[in-house]
Amino acid sequence: MIVRDSRWIGLIAGIFMLLFIADGYAFFGGKFKTLKPENGKLMIPIKDIDDGQAHYFKAKSKNGIMVSFFTVKSPDGVIRAAIDACDVCYRSGKGYVQQGDVMVCTNCGRKFATGRINEVKGGCNPAPLNRVVDSGKLVVDMADINANAWYCEYKRD
């Protein structure tokens, strides 16, 4: 009887660990930080995103779609921003991950140099997101978020 009980405990613990590992982001808030607009603009402190790593954000568009995007400081020192989707693979809802100085489409595997983000539009390139730097903050206008919401209709964060 004790052996059978310990098997159940082991099975339950194993299932819990699998769920925890497989969906760990859900327990810790995910990779996307939700932003709320101030006066129609999203503002991200530069000091939080100038480390060369991709940083992921999302904001609710006027039609209720959560629009996800990323920022990354490229080797040339420019902080770039793009929707976490492209013209080709947006229906997959998968987005991009960073591998060194490139962003990789997690649907098709194509790689894009971070120095080309915001410079090339179309195809599988990350969809550029207009941004400006003002008073130590990266500023994205909600009009640009709203205009690009269609890319994220299929997103599964």
* Amino acid residing at 75: P
Q: State how many domains the chain has.
A: 2
Instruction: Note whether 54 and 82 are same-domain residues.
Output: yes
One-letter amino acid for residue 69 of the chain:
F
Entry field: residues in the chain:
157
Same domain membership, residue 21 and residue 45: no
Do 45 and 8 share a structural domain? no
Instruction: Indicate if 106 and 148 belong to the same structural domain.
Output: yes
Q: Does 44 fall in a domain?
A: yes
pLDDT at residue 121, rounded to an integer: 87
Question: Does residue 146 lie within any of the structural domains?
Answer: yes
Each residue's pLDDT tens digit in the chain (157 positions)? 555 566 766 556 555 544 444 444 444 457 899 999 999 999 999 999 999 999 999 999 999 999 999 999 999 999 999 999 988 989 898 999 999 999 999 999 999 999 999 998 888 899 999 999 999 999 999 999 999 999 998 876 5
Do 53 and 82 belong together in one domain? yes
Whether residue 157 is contained in a domain is answered as: no
CA angle 25, 26, 32 (to 5 degrees): 60
What is the three-class DSSP state of 52?
coil
Task: Looking at the structure, tell me whether residues 21 and 37 fall in a common domain.
Answer: no
Same domain membership, residue 77 and residue 19: no
Please state whether beta strands 55-60 and 32-34 pair in parallel, antiparallel, or not at all (unpaired): parallel
The predicted pLDDT at position 12 comes to 63
Same domain, 41 and 76: yes
**Of 130, 128, 140, residue with least CA distance to 103:** 128
The alpha carbon of residue 46 and the mean position of all alpha carbons in its chain are separated, in whole angstroms, by: 17
Q: Which pLDDT score is estimated for 155?
A: 72
Structural domain boundaries, residue 9: 1-28
Per-residue confidence (pLDDT) for residue 51, from 0 to 100: 96
Identify whether residues 17 and 82 lie together within a single domain.
no
Residue 134 lies in a domain: yes
Q: How many CA atoms lie within 13 A of 8 on its CB side?
A: 4
CATH number at residue 42: 2.102.10.10
